[in-house]
Every structure is written in structure tokens, then in C-alpha cells.
């Protein structure tokens, strides 16, 4: 029974992937991509990768999908002209051939792995007690490979700076996004009022539970950012001008705290980002709590886009 | 209990199926929306009702009910928003 479900799921995903590529309209392709992300979430659940499934649903399907919908809406005007510049048949077949060759090469590599596949999982489980967290994924992300997570947080910040740099000169330092004029008694305002408390609780829960169960700051921050965007879309609150000092401090607070903990480790434990004996859990919590507002703001502001209005609302 | 689950989830799946057929076959966006929201609320509600006897703990059952309520809320909101956008588009053209 499960096999039938798995085969059906795989076939559906492959079909949807092909459809996303051949779809002529950008908007249709984006819708296909979002559905593809949600189906991929089910695959990760089937593979018992609940952490990855949560991330895929929140960031792969939800956040990236919303970003792509915005991009497709902006491109709609120029889409017909872009279609006339389509590359020739030969170029497209060549691209398809190269993509298929890469996919086949990857498949061969995966199938040629020795059985059982080389893994560091036993070593992680053997050393997890030192970090005092219960979820091995969190232990890897914030203790054994903390450097990767630090660089990830910094890359997100750079991405936001890249988005902001697209602002026209007169709007620099202003508020991102369009002014929402939805009435305070509208349907969306009701949904925002009803959903945002639930969403905030869920987001904090996912964040806090990440120490011992699937979850964590990235997934939690995405939920919080979604609630923030919902409130702004309903016209209940306006986006802050990007020139505000508190906003900029919050944006760099997470990575700065992370680096500070890293330097502390270099002084007390002998290596950058290593935690002194017995204090690992506390320091991991400090990093998580500092990163949470930063990630929420970065993800929300990235979806809002470049500043388009002045400072006054 | 097993029989109840099979019947309720089967009925839920039927509503999803009917809703999908409606989505594909109905002539205009309003009726399509109608088909979709009914399928969501009823179909998912029946699936949740069917799964309730299978859960191990009260909190898991509560989570299932919460999921149904949240989907209803978001479905109703999205349906209203789409319908309003459609009406505005019609009055403009």
C-alpha cells in the first residue's frame, strides 16, 4: 500500500516538474512550482526527514513561492515581448540534453554509493550529549557545523541589501511595498486579526521545540514573517522605513551575537565557534534568540521588496 | 471504529473528488469557487472526523480539529478575496 502511494507520489512530482518547465506562462509555472514544493514536503515526511519537510514547506514552497508570484506579476507586462526572443529549437534541445545528462550522472552517483552509505550520523549521536540539545539536526546546525549556519544568516542579510539596492533614489530610506488601503473592517483585516495570534504562538512553538524535536528558528521565523506580512497586507500596520536605526540594529543583531559567541569560544575554548564545556546549551539558546528577530525581519522585508515610497506613510 | 474511519474518509475523498470535478467543469469563476470551498470544508471535515478515532492522544485529536478550523478560516478568507477581486474586475470591464 505504501509502495503504491510512494510510486504515485514520485510520478506526480516528476509530471509536475516537467509541466513546470514546459508551461508557457510564468504565472502557471510558479503555481506548478509551489505545488511541487508541497508534494516534495510529503516526500521528506515519507523519508522521515521532518526537519527538512518543515523547511521545504515554509521556505521552499511558501516563501519562495510568494517571492516568485511577485516576480511573475511584475514580469507579466513584458512577457509577450520576451517570448519573441525565445532561443531556437537547437539551443533548447541542447539545454534539455545537458540537464538530462546531469540528472543521469547524479542518479548514477547516488546508486553507486556503497551499502550502507557513508554517514556521520553515528558520530553525531555519540557526541550529541555534549551539546545538551535533543534534536540531532539542531546539534549539527548550531554546534558541529555552526559556521555554515552563521554564513547562512549573513548571506540572507546580503540578499536583503541586494533587494534594497534596487530602490529608486527618491525612495531610498523609505518604506518598502505598496501602501495598503484595505478597510479596517474588511475580510482580510478580520483574517489578520484572527490568524496572527495563532500564527505567532505556532511560530514561537516551532522555534522553541527545535531544541529537542523537529523545528527551529528558520521555520519559526518564516511563520512569524508570514503573520507580519498578513498584518501589513490587511492594512493594519505599515512597513517600517528602512532608514530606521532600530530596524538596522535588529537586522545585524543576530549575526553579531553569533560572531560574539564565536569569538568568546576562541578565547575560552580554543577555537572559533567552539563552546566552553557545560555552557553549550546556554550559548546555543543565546544564538537562537538573537537570530530569531533578525531572520523574521529579513524574510519579511525580502518579500516586501525594495523601498518604493517616502518615509511618510 | 475501523469501519467508521473508512466510511468517513471515503466520504471526504468523495467530496474532494466532486469539488475537483466542479473546479474543472463549472462555467465561471464564481461557481468554481463555490465548488472548491465546499469540497475543502466538508471533505477535510469528514477526513478529520474519520481520523479522530485513530489518534493516540487527546492533544493529537485537538490538533487535527485545529487544522480543520484553520483551513476553514483561510479557505473562507481566500474565497471572499478572490470573489471580491472578480466582482471589481467585472464592474470595470
The CA–CA distances, whole Å, from A221 to A70, A102, A128, A207 equal: 20, 34, 25, 8
pLDDT in tens, A257-293: 999 988 888 888 778 888 877 778 888 888 888 899 9
pLDDT in tens, A118-176: 788 888 888 777 777 878 888 888 778 888 888 989 999 999 999 999 888 888 888 88
Tell me which residues of chain B, numbers 30 to 89, contact chain A at a CB-CB cutoff of 8 Å. Answer: 70, 73-74, 77, 80-81, 84
The shortest CB-CB distance from A195 to any of B73, B80, B81 is to: B73
Backbone angles phi, psi at A224, to 5 degrees: -60, -40
Helix (H) or strand (E) holding A29: helix A26-46
In the predicted structure, residue A97 carries a pLDDT above the cut 90: yes
Chain B: give the shortest CA distance to residue A187, in Å: 6
Backbone angles phi, psi at A208, to 5 degrees: -70, -40
Tell me if chain B has a CB within 8 Å of the CB of A188. Answer: yes
Domain boundaries, given as residue ranges, for chain B = 2-92
Best residue in A69, A181, A182, A187 to probe B by mutation, most B CBs within 10 Å? A187
A276 by DSSP, 3-state: which? coil
Residues A17 and A100: beta-carbon distance below 8 Å: no
A307 by DSSP, 3-state: which? strand
Q: With contacts defined as CB-CB under 8 Å, which chain B residues touch A198?
A: 70
- How far is Cα A88 from Cα A23, in angstroms, rounded to an integer? 17
Share of chain A above pLDDT 90, in %: 30
Span B19-41, mean pLDDT?
82
Tell me, yes or no, if the pTM score tops 0.95: no
Of B9, B42, B28, B71, nearest in space to A195 by CA:
B71
In the predicted structure, residue A98 carries a pLDDT above the cut 60: yes
Q: Which long-range contacts (CB under 8 A, 24 or more apart) does A23-29 make?
A: A24/A83, A25/A79, A26/A71, A26/A72, A26/A75, A26/A76, A26/A79, A27/A69, A27/A72, A27/A73, A27/A76, A29/A72
Q: How confident is the model at residue A184 (pLDDT cuts 50, 70, 90)?
A: low
In the predicted structure, residue A313 carries a pLDDT above the cut 60: no
Residues B46 and B15: beta-carbon distance below 8 Å: yes
Count of CB atoms situated within 10 Å of the CB of A127: 13
Amino acid at each position: 500500500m505504501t509502495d503504491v502511494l510512494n510510486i504515485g507520489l514520485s510520478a506526480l512530482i516528476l509530471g509536475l516538474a516537467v509541466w513546470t518547465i514546459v508551461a508557457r506562462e510564468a504565472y502557471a509555472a510558479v503555481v506548478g512550482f509551489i505545488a511541487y514544493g508541497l508534494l516534495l514536503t510529503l516526500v521528506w515526511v515519507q523519508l522521515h526527514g521532518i526537519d527538512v519537510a518543515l523547511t521545504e514547506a515554509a521556505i521552499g514552497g511558501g516563501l519562495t513561492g510568494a517571492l516568485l508570484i511577485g516576480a511573475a506579476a511584475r514580469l507579466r507586462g513584458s512577457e509577450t515581448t520576451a517570448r519573441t526572443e525565445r532561443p531556437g529549437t537547437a539551443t533548447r534541445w541542447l539545454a534539455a540534453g545537458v540537464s538530462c545528462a546531469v540528472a543521469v550522472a547524479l542518479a548514477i552517483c547516488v546508486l553507486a554509493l556503497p551499502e550502507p552509505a557513508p554517514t556521520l550520523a553515528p558520530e553525531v549521536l555519540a557526541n550529541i550529549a555534549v551539546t545538551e540539545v535533543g534534536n540531532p539536526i539542531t546539534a549539527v546546525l548550531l554546534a558541529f557545523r555552526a559556521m555554515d549556519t552563521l554564513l547562512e544568516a549573513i548571506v540572507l542579510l546580503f540578499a536583503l541589501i541586494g533587494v534594497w539596492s534596487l530602490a529608486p533614489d527618491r525612495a531610498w530610506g523609505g518604506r518598502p511595498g505598496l501602501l495598503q488601503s484595505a478597510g479596517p473592517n474588511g475580510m482580510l483585516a478580520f483574517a489578520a486579526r484572527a490568524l496572527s495570534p495563532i500564527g505567532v504562538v505556532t511560530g514561537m512553538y516551532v522555534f522553541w521545540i527545535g531544541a529537542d524535536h523537529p523545528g527551529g528558528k528558520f521555520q519559526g521565523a518564516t511563520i512569524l514573517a508570514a503573520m507580519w506580512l498578513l498584518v501589513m497586507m490587511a492594512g493594519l500596520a505599515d512597513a517600517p522605513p528602512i532608514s530606521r536605526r532600530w530596524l538596522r540594529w535588529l537586522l545585524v543583531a543576530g549575526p553579531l551575537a553569533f560572531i560574539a559567541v564565536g569569538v568568546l569560544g576562541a578565547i575560552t575554548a580554543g577555537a572559533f565557534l567552539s563552546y566552553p564545556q557545560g555552557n553549550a546549551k546556554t550559548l546555543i539558546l543565546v544564538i537562537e534568540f538573537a537570530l530569531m528577530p533578525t531572520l523574521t525581519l529579513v524574510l519579511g522585508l525580502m518579500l516586501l521588496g525594495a523601498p518604493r515610497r517616502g518615509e511618510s506613510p | 471504529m475501523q469501519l467508521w474511519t473508512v466510511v468517513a474518509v471515503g466520504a471526504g475523498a468523495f467530496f474532494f473528488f466532486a469539488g475537483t470535478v466542479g473546479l474543472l467543469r463549472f462555467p465561471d469563476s464564481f461557481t468554481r469557487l463555490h465548488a472548491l470551498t465546499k469540497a475543502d470544508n466538508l471533505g477535510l471535515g469528514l477526513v478529520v472526523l474519520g481520523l479522530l478515532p485513530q489518534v493516540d492522544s487527546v492533544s493529537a485529536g485537538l490538533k487535527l480539529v485545529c487544522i480543520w478550523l484553520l483551513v476553514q478560516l483561510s479557505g473562507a478568507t481566500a474565497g471572499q478575496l478572490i470573489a471580491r477581486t472578480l466582482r471589481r474586475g467585472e464592474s470595470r470591464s
